[in-house]
Structure 1
Amino acid sequence: MKPYQQLPIEFSILKQREFEQIRQFLYEEAGIFLSDIKKSLVASRLCKRLKETGYQNYGDYFEFVKNNLQHIEYHHFIDALTTNETFFFRENEHFDFVKQLIKDHSQKKSWQAWSAACSSGEEAYSLAMLFADILGIDGQWQVQGSDISQRVLAKAELAHYLLERNEGIGFERLQKYCLKGVGRQSGTFLIDDILKNKVSFFTMNLTQSCESVGMCDVIFIRNVMIYFDADSKQRVINNVIKQLKVGGYLFISHTESLMHVNHRLKQIKPSIYQRI
């Protein structure tokens, strides 16, 4: 059966064997582990893909995805099974720390920051606003954002958000770095190109080599490790730390921990680590 052939569909249930195959495949491809309680979630999210592609059961759909890794449907599959939730200046204590860090190293010639699981871009643009506040929009700094999901990266590059999502940015930054939508775009805002041009986005699987990122002074890897088992978490941390300069800082979410993970980092504060 060819993908995207439209058929009258009567969907089958997701069989346990199919769920286990999908779970194993996602783990091998992205390092993300799905527990048994995620079966209904997987069925619900992939049901939408069955409707789009015309497949009548999960088994046939999965066989196509598994055997066509270069097809766009592979990316839709990954997107459907990865959770992406973020907002501007989330866990603001981390941004306060970076702000003071920049001020304390005012003679530093350049800064490189990486939002390693950036989702739709709010975290990366929050970092960019912070650097622009202190060093100026033309300062020697750059922010990179990466994610495994091409869907959310497309949103990040578009930099177009609902106005209700601006909480945390503050009025002054909205005035400096954002454009308010009017007419048909009312109720939305756009990140201004002056800031947008300082941020780059790219697809990255953190369980694989991250060398293309280059060496960074600041790395945010927040609200993503909760989806990895112990082995994948160790692999991700190993890859990410390789891109952190000596003296650089790594930030994880307050809800996450590096317990039982081998690393070469000194804990400065809860969820803040330095490479020494």
Structure 2
Amino acid sequence: MAAEPVPGLRLPELADSQFRLLQRLMLEASGIALAANKRPLVAGRLMKRLRHYQLPGYEQYLQLLEQPHYLAERRLVVDLLTTNETYFFREPAHFAFFGQWLAKRKGALRIWSAACSSGEEPYSLAMAVSEHGTTQDWSILASDLSLSMLERAASGIYDLAQARHFPEGWLHRYCLNGVGAMHGRFRVQAALRQRVSLREVNLVQPLPEGVGPFEVIFLRNVLIYFDNDEKQRIVRRLVEQLVPGGLLFIGHAESIHGFGLPLRLLSPSVYQHL
């Protein structure tokens, strides 16, 4: 629960110069360009850190971030300012297409959920492969910039409200209902969690050794946070890890038109490597 405002206490304001410094920090750390209209969101999300350190304003917090032994706090800023809206089976048309593709495909399957947030996407993919796939030789890499999101994904525990988009019967088939103190929650079955490996990956940097190749890459609802040049670099870097004939999924609100990549459109926001 949010703290009650103290009568007569004026909340600190995030000045233009302070916001520009935070924009630069985010750009350097994550490649994400914070738009000007994100300023109220930034101020709101960082207010709790001012309270944590009992600081009077953002200027003092920015001075703290500049100190060498506060590197963990800089990482926390990136976590707090990275939007992580996600849910199971988001953009169901993608999962319908993916299920049909899985039913026809033979051979080993390596999948990358490249911006996995708190794990809903990779676990949705794992359920789809278990339901429709024709092979037992499959694995999923789930990566994200945020360590706190990766920790949540590792637990595989979610509120029951997040199961509202599950296909009928899948919650009971692939998850365990919580009891006692865990009532109202569910956990993805261990057999599926073991198929998903979690790794910290910053998509604006060269990929770590051992990432790829893949038959399927999901890169959804992340490109919208980057400028056009950075988008091209990210997508090109990922397509290089996609095998010929492999699939790339991007968000329905995103576009890679004009990037000059060896891809052909199969379905809205679904591409195949030539």
> TM-score of the superposition, structure 2-length normalised?
0.90
Match of 1:148 among 134, 145, 148: 145
- Deviation string 1:6-55 (CA, Å, 9 cap, x unpaired) is xxx97531111111111022112211111111111111111111112333
Q: CA deviation at 1:63?
A: 3.4
Q: Is the 8 A contact 2:100 2:132 kept in 1?
A: no
Q: CA deviation at 1:66?
A: 4.2
Relative to 1, partners in 2 of residues 1:111 and 1:233: Cα closer, same or farther, differing over 3 Å?
A: same
CA distance in 2, matches of 1:64, 1:235: 33
Match of 1:127 in 2: 125
How do residues 85-234 of structure 1 correspond to structure 2 at under 5 angstroms? 85-106=85-106, 108=107, 110-135=108-133, 139-211=136-208, 212-234=210-232
Q: CA deviation at 1:204?
A: 1.1
Match of 1:258 in 2: 256
Code of the residue aligned with 1:257 in structure 2: it is S
CA distance in 1, matches of 2:165, 2:128: 12
Code of the residue aligned with 2:151 in structure 1: it is A
- Deviation string 1:125-173 (CA, Å, 9 cap, x unpaired) is 010011112347x810001111111111111111110001102223422
3-state DSSP of counterpart to 2:140: strand
Q: CA deviation at 1:192?
A: 1.1
CA distance in 2, matches of 1:250, 1:67: 41
CA distance in 2, matches of 1:37, 1:55: 25
Tell me, which stretches of 5 or more residues in structure 2 are unaligned?
Answer: 1-8
Higher mean Cα deviation, 112-121 or 202-211? 202-211
Q: Is the 8 A contact 1:121 1:155 kept in 2?
A: yes
Match of 1:249 in 2: 247
The count of aligned residue pairs is 265
- Deviation string 1:151-208 (CA, Å, 9 cap, x unpaired) is 1111111111000110222342222210001122111101111111111111111101
Identity %: 38
> TM-score of the superposition, structure 1-length normalised?
0.90
Root mean square deviation of aligned Cα:
1.9
Tell me, which stretches of 5 or more residues in structure 1 are unaligned?
Answer: 1-8
